[in-house]
Structures are given as C-alpha cells and as structure tokens.
Amino acid sequence: MMPRLSLTFLALAALFTTGCLFSKKSKEPKENSAIAGSVEENFKVRWIDKRAAELTAQGKSADAARTQAADEFGQRYLFNAPPQKK
C-alpha cells in the first residue's frame, strides 16, 4: 500500500510541477498595428488600381475611373473607419 501511495504522490507532483497546467497563452494573438495598417493600405492601392484599369477598359477617362474606383472602395470596405473596441 505504501509504495502505491508514494507512487501516486510522485505522479501527481510531476504532473503539477511541469507548469503545463498553469502556463496558459492568451487566446487572441497580439496585433501589430503597423503591419495591419501596411496590409490594409497595400490592399486599398491594389484594389483601386485594378478597378480603375477595368473602368478605363470600359471607356472612362483615367481620372474619372480612379475617382470612381476610390469611391467604390470606400463604400465597399470600411477601412477608413476607426477600429471598434470590443
């Protein structure tokens, strides 16, 4: 009985001293605002360039196509709005 009891205590001690149960990582990844801003700006520029090229191919002038593409981007994606806190 004594060896079985001591073996149980040793197993419990090993389980609780490893730190696996107590070291929890945060569930949400940390967001780097500089990287997020860069990705959003890159997406915006590429989307507007592509849409402006499509509108130019349909016969619009380059300036009008770029203005319309920027307006469409603003309506479709809300990157210009500040981030909402949860």
Contact predicate 15/44, CB 8 Å: no
Q: What is the pLDDT of residue 33?
A: 79
Greatest C-alpha distance within the chain: 91
| pLDDT single digits (tens) 12-71 | 777 666 665 556 666 776 777 788 888 889 999 999 999 999 999 999 999 999 999 999
Report whether 51 contacts 72 (CB < 8 A): yes
pTM above 0.95, yes or no: no
Single out the residue of 77, 55, 57 nearest to residue 66, CA to CA: 55
